[in-house]
């Protein structure tokens, strides 16, 4: 390991930090420097088993804690998150590269799910029917699954785990988190705050690792459900493998989100929206707008006239530099892969209007930087259109009319999010109704629902039946039980062997 490595990130099992014992380690970069600054222990199957065993031992006691008492831990956790927001944001930025303000924003979105989970007693209420037959009542309840797992991506190392474990543990489950090995420190930080908030040891465990850890979670008989956010290739594997082992799986996957711009759109609003949605977090988010479909050449020309100067003046740099609007991508490999897509876009005939390949930041010459890039006159057969690039690369497609634009959106293999910018209510309503996409924004570029709604896409952006957080999250982390009771007092004796018409026994 390079001499620059100052720290090894371990696991968090049974309420304490545990050093790795597998002898395998991964590199953790500071993306702004382009250098390895930490290592992370990669768990063996045995170490993953230890984390699962701790969660299993904690489950019976935690499941019996009344929901109103469970959420008291989450209330205290919320306060600790707020107190440590600055520290956590800088930790996140140092391993991911996004600006501190962006990091704080993502933590705040995760915090909203914690706040939703604090109201879990309301969500766990069942239904009751009196007198379904003579002297017979029936009611339902939702009970926890047991030990559940979360496998989370590098792009939101705080927010996405908080889409999962607060709802899971509020419902009475125990949790094993496998964060991205590219930026693992936030997961351990959050686990320590949960312990400080009074969460019993073993209720939430963090295991760092690679495919060996993932496969162990997918095959271990104690794990009842797996939540995943990441690429479609990995998500499909996790869904099929987890289901083959009898687990409940939700896998939120890749995206190629389109923003349709109608001729009547407010162009100032459009350009502001594109700048944030395409280049925020260096484009490394599944809800980024990576395709703008401009309806008509005049619309496209007017948009590009205002957009290009904004892109060219976007300030790129390290997260701790003053006034920086966009940071680096996660690793040198990611940087090189994104530049390769720009190369292919040029080769395939797209018009490269702003080229971010040759950017250099003084003092950070080895950093993982890709400048904001935009292609115009992109065709649907080009790789910059078809593939999820996961970087600050925007493709502009010119459609002849609204129907052609809508068809482009509906024909793409991904269906995570989309937006339309227009002043016309009829067009907006039609788009919301006909777009075959899971989340739709009208003059809202990134239509991520708040925590009390649920998040998820369509087509190859989602494998599984349940969206994440909100009511769908509660349904995913619980199973329904229905009870039917009859008490003998006042009921004539005699065995009953069948149901009669009208519900009479």
User: Which positions are catalytic?
Assistant: 286
Residue reference for tokens 């543990």: 169
SS3 breakdown of the chain: % helix, strand, coil, rounded to 5?
40, 25, 35
Contact criterion met (CB below 8 Å) for 379 and 385: yes
DSSP per residue over 391-459, as a string? SSEEEEEEESSHHHHHHHHHHSSEESEEEEE-S-HHHHHHHHHH---SEEEES-SS-PPPTTS-B--EE
Q: What is the DSSP letter of 378?
A: -
The C-alpha atoms of residue 49 and residue 213 are separated, in whole angstroms, by 9
Please calculate the CA angle 432-435-439 and round it to the nearest 5 degrees: 70
Alpha-carbon dihedral of residues 303, 309, 312, 315, nearest 10 degrees? -100
The tokens describing 428, both together, are: 């907006």
Please calculate the CA angle 190-92-21 and round it to the nearest 5 degrees: 60
Please calculate the CA angle 495-498-502 and round it to the nearest 5 degrees: 115
Residue reference for tokens 């109608």: 262
The residues near 176 (Cβ < 8 Å, ≥ 6 apart) are 48, 51, 52, 55, 147, 148, 149, 150, 205, 206, 207, 217, 223
Alpha-carbon dihedral of residues 225, 230, 232, 235, nearest 10 degrees? -20
Q: How far is CA 38 from CA 29, 257, 330, 460, in A?
A: 7, 34, 14, 34
- From edge to edge, which strands make up the β-sheet containing 16-18? 16-18, 11-13, 204-206, 174-178, 147-151, 223-229, 248-252, 462-463
444 class by beta-carbon count within 10 Å (0-12 exposed, 13-18 middle, 19+ buried):
middle
Contact criterion met (CB below 8 Å) for 364 and 327: no
């Amino acid at each position: 390991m390079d001499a620059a490595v100052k720290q090894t990130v371990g696991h968090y099992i049974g309420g304490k930090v545990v050093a790795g014992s597998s002898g395998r380690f991964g590199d953790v970069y500071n993306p702004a420097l382009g250098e390895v600054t930490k290592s992370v222990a990669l768990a063996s199957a045995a170490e993953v088993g230890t984390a699962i065993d701790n969660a299993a031992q904690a489950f019976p006691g935690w499941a019996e804690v009344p929901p109103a008492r469970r959420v008291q831990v989450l209330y205290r956790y919320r306060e600790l998150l707020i107190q440590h927001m600055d520290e956590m944001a800088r930790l996140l930025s140092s391993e991911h590269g996004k600006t501190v303000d962006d990091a704080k924003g993502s933590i705040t979105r995760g915090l909203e799910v914690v706040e939703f989970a604090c109201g879990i007693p309301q969500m766990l209420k069942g239904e009751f029917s009196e007198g379904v037959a003579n002297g017979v009542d029936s009611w339902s309840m939702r009970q926890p699954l047991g030990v559940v797992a979360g496998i989370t991506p590098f792009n939101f190392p705080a927010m996405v785990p908080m889409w999962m474990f607060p709802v899971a543990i509020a419902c009475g489950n125990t949790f094993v988190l496998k964060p991205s090995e590219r930026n693992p420190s936030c997961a351990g930080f959050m686990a320590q705050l949960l312990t400080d908030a009074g969460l019993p040891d073993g209720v939430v465990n963090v295991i760092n690792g690679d495919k060996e850890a993932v496969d162990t979670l997918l095959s271990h008989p104690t794990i009842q459900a797996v939540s995943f956010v990441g690429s479609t290739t990995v998500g499909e594997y996790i869904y099929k493998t987890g289901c083959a082992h009898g687990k409940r799986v939700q896998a939120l996957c890749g995206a190629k989100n389109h923003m349709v711009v109608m001729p009547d759109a407010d162009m100032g609003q459009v350009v502001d929206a594109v700048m944030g949605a395409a280049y925020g977090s260096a484009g490394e988010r599944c809800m980024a707008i990576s395709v703008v479909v401009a309806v008509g050449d005049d619309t496209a020309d007017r948009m590009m006239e205002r957009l290009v100067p904004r892109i060219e003046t976007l300030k790129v740099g390290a997260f701790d530099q003053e006034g920086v609007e966009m940071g680096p991508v996660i690793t040198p490999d990611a940087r090189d892969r994104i530049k390769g897509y720009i190369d292919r876009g040029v080769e395939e005939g797209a018009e490269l209007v702003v080229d971010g390949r040759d950017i250099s930041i003084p003092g950070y010459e080895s950093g993982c930087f890709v400048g904001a890039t935009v292609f115009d006159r992109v065709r649907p057969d080009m790789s910059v259109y078809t593939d999820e690039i996961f970087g600050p690369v925007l493709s502009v497609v010119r459609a002849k009319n609204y129907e052609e634009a809508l068809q482009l959106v509906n024909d793409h293999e991904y269906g995570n999010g989309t937006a339309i910018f227009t002043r016309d209510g009829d067009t907006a309503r039609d788009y919301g109704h006909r777009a075959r996409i899971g989340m739709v924004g009208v003059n809202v570029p990134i239509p991520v629902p708040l925590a009390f709604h649920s998040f998820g896409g369509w087509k190859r952006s989602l494998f599984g039946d349940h969206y994440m957080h909100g009511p769908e999250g509660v349904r995913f982390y619980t199973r329904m039980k229905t009870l039917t009771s009859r008490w003998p007092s006042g009921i004539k004796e005699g065995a009953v062997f069948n149901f009669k018409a009208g519900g009479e026994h």
